[in-house]
Amino acid sequence: MNKRTILHHTRRLVQVSGALAALLASAAAWGDGDAGRGWARAQMCAGCHGIADYRTAFPKVYSVPKLGGQEAAYIVKSLQDYKSGARKNATMGGIAATLSDQDMADLAAYYAANEHPANKVVANKDATTKGQQ
């Protein structure tokens, strides 16, 4: 192997090691989440993520994703990416910057355990007409 090949493999190994470390950190964070504490923190999220078919107008118009029922690891990773700047959104970046790893794990535990109301299928047709779910 020449020096260039060795350097390439070394860089690749460092990249893979970094990705693995981030994955393990994510797994550790969401594994220890407390859904009860997450519920308390989620009140700040409900203004956008708790409204079915909500679209924001700042900084551009886009649909706000539903969080209920999402995988905990996905939520933690998304929040970490917003906090680090790897994922861009002015609103979410600002919010994520205030969250600790524990806050992220708690939010992830709450949302992973709770299906978004807009995703629920009502089994009883009469309950829908009465406004009950």
**pLDDT tens string 42-85:** 999 988 888 888 887 776 788 888 899 999 999 999 999 999 99
Q: E strands within 10-82?
A: 55-56, 62-63
- Mean pLDDT is lowest, of 12-21, 74-83, 87-96, 101-110, for 12-21
3-state secondary structure of 67: coil
Distance CA(120)–CA(105), nearest Å, equals 24
Overall number of domains in the chain = 1
Q: Pull the structure tokens for residue 114.
A: 């709770």
Decide which of 121 and 16 is more confident: 16
* Domain ranges, residue 72: 3-129
Q: CB–CB of 76/67 below 8 Å?
A: no
pTM of the model: 0.62
**Tell me, what CATH number does 101's domain have?**
1.10.760.10
Residue 56's beta-bridge partner residues?
62
Instruction: Give the number of residues written for the chain.
Output: 133
**Helix (H), strand (E) at residue 62:** strand 62-63
